[in-house]
Structure 1
Amino acid sequence: MFIPYPAINFASPGTNESEPQANDIKIEYHPSSGKPAKILHFHEYGECRNHDHVPIPPDPAPWKPWRSRVDFEVATLALESSMSEDQINKLINILQRVGQGSDNFTLKNNKEMQTMWDLAAERSIKFQKAEIPVPFRDQEPEIFELHYRPAWDWLQELLRDTMLASQMEWDAQRMYRYDSVSNSWKRFIEEAWSANTWWKIQDNLPAGAVPLCIVFYADKSKLSSFGTAKGYPVILRCANLPMDIHNSPGRGGGRVIGWLPIVAEDAARSGKSDFATFKSIVWHESVRKIFESIVQHSKTGYTMDCGDGVRRCLYPLILISSADFEEQTVVCLTRGTQGLCPCVKCEIPKDELTNFDSEFTQRTAKRTVDIVNEALCIARTSKGESDAILKRHSLRPYMNSFFRINNTDPHENVSFDDLHFLDSGLWEDHLFEASLSDIIQTLTLIFSTRTRYKSFPRWPKLHHFEDGISKITFNDGSKNRDISKIFLFAAHDTITKEEDKAGYTLLKVTRHYINLIMYAGLEIQTSATIAAGRAAIEAFANGLKACALSQTTDLDKNWNFIKLHYLRHCWDDIESKGVLRGMSTKPNEKFHGPLRKIYLRQTSFKDTAKQIVRLEHQSVVASQIQDAIDLLDAHMKPLKSDDPEDSQETDLPLDNFHLKLGSKLKPVTFGQLESAGSVFQRLHIRVSDFLSDLLPQSGIPLPDGKRIKFNANDKLVPYQSIKVKYESLETWRPVMDILRCNPDFHNRPRYDFIIIQTARDGPVFAQMQYLFVCTVADMPYPMALIQAYRVVRSRSSHDKDLGFLRLRKDRVTELISVQSIVRGAIVIPASDDPMKGDEMLVWDVLDGDMFLRVKRDYPGYTAGR
Structure 2
Amino acid sequence: MNMHPIVLRPAFLPAEIRNASGNGGGTFIGLMPIVGNPNNTIENEDDTPTSVELAQFKRELYHKVTHVIFRSLRKRSHHGDALSCGDKIMRVVYPGFLIHSVDGEEGCSTCGTHGAQAKHPCPKCLAEKTALTMLSKHFMPRVQEVMIDIFRNAKKLGSSSRMALLRDSGLHFVKNTFWKINNSSPYDAYSYDLLHAFDAGEWSKHLWPLVLEKVTKEHGKKFNYLKHHNLIHLPEDIENKGCTENYSTRPGEGFQQEGSPASIWTNFKNTESQITHIDENQEAIACIRMFVDLHDEELSKAMSAEDLTDGNEPPPRPVRCQDNYAVGSPLTKITIDILENTKGNLPLYRSFRSKLHEFLKSELDKDSCPRGFLTITPYQCLYLTYMSLEDWREKRDILHCDPSFHNRPRYDCVVINTNPGMSQKSEKPDHGWPDEDTVRHGQTRVRA
Coarse TM-score class (shorter-chain normalised): 0.5 to 0.7
Q: Distance in 1 between matches of 2:151 and 2:116?
A: 20
CA contact (8 A) 2:136 2:232 kept: no
Q: 2:226 matched to 1:562? A: yes
The residue type equivalent to 1:615 in the other structure is I
Q: 2:285 matched to 1:622? A: yes
**SS at the partner of 2:70?**
helix
CA contact (8 A) 1:345 1:411 kept: yes
Q: 2:153 matched to 1:374? A: yes
The residue type equivalent to 1:617 in the other structure is E
User: Deviation of residue 604 (structure 1)?
Assistant: 4.2
User: Deviation of residue 275 (structure 1)?
Assistant: 2.6
Q: Distance in 1 between matches of 2:296 and 2:107?
A: 43
Equivalent positions of 1:755-766 (< 5 A) are none
Aligned to 2:382: none
Among 573, 584, 595, the residue aligned to 2:248: 584
How has the CA–CA distance of structure 1 residues 334 and 631 changed in structure 2, closer, same or farther, with 3 Å as cutoff? same
Question: Aligned residues, how many?
Answer: 297
Q: 2:165 matched to 1:364? A: no
The residue type equivalent to 1:371 in the other structure is I
Among 161, 182, 187, the residue aligned to 1:406: 182
Q: Distance in 2 between matches of 1:337 and 1:371?
A: 21
User: Deviation of residue 251 (structure 1)?
Assistant: 3.2
Q: Distance in 2 between matches of 1:323 and 1:396?
A: 19
CA contact (8 A) 1:346 1:361 kept: yes
Q: 2:354 matched to 1:354? A: no
Q: Distance in 2 between matches of 1:557 and 1:639?
A: 64
Q: 2:165 matched to 1:389? A: yes
The residue type equivalent to 2:161 in the other structure is E
Q: Deviation digits for residues 65-111 of structure 1, max 9, x if unmatched?
A: xxxxxxxxxxxxxxxxxxxxxxxxxxxxxxxxxxxxxxxxxxxxxxx
**SS at the partner of 1:422?**
helix
**SS at the partner of 2:25?**
coil
CA contact (8 A) 1:241 1:252 kept: no
User: Deviation of residue 371 (structure 1)?
Assistant: 1.0
Q: Which runs of 5+ in 2 are unaligned?
A: 41-48, 305-394, 396-448
CA contact (8 A) 2:17 2:25 kept: yes
Aligned to 1:434: 210
Using structure 1 for the length normalisation, give the TM-score: 0.33
User: Deviation of residue 401 (structure 1)?
Assistant: 0.2
How has the CA–CA distance of structure 1 residues 556 and 257 changed in structure 2, closer, same or farther, with 3 Å as cutoff? same
Q: Deviation digits for residues 387-442 of structure 1, max 9, x if unmatched?
A: 1100111101122101111111100000001111111110000000112133xxxx
CA contact (8 A) 2:2 2:33 kept: no
Aligned to 1:597: 261
Aligned to 2:103: 324
**SS at the partner of 2:94?**
strand
CA contact (8 A) 2:22 2:283 kept: no
Aligned to 1:263: 35
**SS at the partner of 1:620?**
helix
CA contact (8 A) 2:63 2:175 kept: no
Q: Distance in 1 between matches of 2:105 and 2:155?
A: 25
Q: Distance in 2 between matches of 1:639 and 1:594?
A: 35
User: Deviation of residue 630 (structure 1)?
Assistant: 4.3
CA contact (8 A) 1:328 1:414 kept: yes
Among 339, 344, 349, the residue aligned to 2:123: 344
CA contact (8 A) 1:341 1:347 kept: yes
The residue type equivalent to 1:373 in the other structure is R
Among 7, 19, 37, the residue aligned to 1:247: 19
Q: Distance in 1 between matches of 2:129 and 2:261?
A: 40
**SS at the partner of 1:260?**
strand
Equivalent positions of 1:142-291 (< 5 A) are 230-264=2-36, 272-291=51-70
User: Deviation of residue 634 (structure 1)?
Assistant: 5.7
Equivalent positions of 1:758-837 (< 5 A) are none
Q: Distance in 1 between matches of 2:244 and 2:266?
A: 36
CA contact (8 A) 2:132 2:229 kept: yes
Q: Distance in 1 between matches of 2:36 and 2:206?
A: 31
Q: Distance in 2 between matches of 1:263 and 1:610?
A: 21
Moved more, 576-585 or 622-631: 622-631
- Identity level (%): 34
Equivalent positions of 1:605-684 (< 5 A) are 605=268, 608-630=271-293, 638=301
How has the CA–CA distance of structure 1 residues 640 and 366 changed in structure 2, closer, same or farther, with 3 Å as cutoff? farther
User: Deviation of residue 356 (structure 1)?
Assistant: 2.0
CA contact (8 A) 2:114 2:172 kept: yes
Q: Distance in 1 between matches of 2:134 and 2:237?
A: 19
Aligned to 1:451: none
Among 294, 300, 319, the residue aligned to 2:73: 294
**SS at the partner of 1:308?**
coil
Aligned to 1:700: none
**SS at the partner of 1:238?**
coil
CA contact (8 A) 1:341 1:393 kept: yes
Q: Deviation digits for residues 274-327 of structure 1, max 9, x if unmatched?
A: 232122111111112111111111101112322421121111110100011111
CA RMSD of the aligned region, Å? 2.7
Using structure 2 for the length normalisation, give the TM-score: 0.61
Q: Distance in 1 between matches of 2:302 and 2:168?
A: 63
Q: Distance in 2 between matches of 1:566 and 1:400?
A: 22
CA contact (8 A) 1:259 1:613 kept: no
User: Deviation of residue 635 (structure 1)?
Assistant: 6.5
Q: Which runs of 5+ in 1 are unaligned?
A: 1-228, 439-499, 503-549, 642-732, 734-865
How has the CA–CA distance of structure 1 residues 323 and 639 changed in structure 2, closer, same or farther, with 3 Å as cutoff? farther
**SS at the partner of 1:342?**
coil
CA contact (8 A) 1:317 1:405 kept: yes
CA contact (8 A) 1:251 1:627 kept: no
CA contact (8 A) 2:113 2:172 kept: yes
The residue type equivalent to 2:25 in the other structure is G
CA contact (8 A) 1:390 1:396 kept: yes
How has the CA–CA distance of structure 1 residues 625 and 576 changed in structure 2, closer, same or farther, with 3 Å as cutoff? same
CA contact (8 A) 2:135 2:232 kept: yes
How has the CA–CA distance of structure 1 residues 297 and 604 changed in structure 2, closer, same or farther, with 3 Å as cutoff? closer
User: Deviation of residue 262 (structure 1)?
Assistant: 3.3
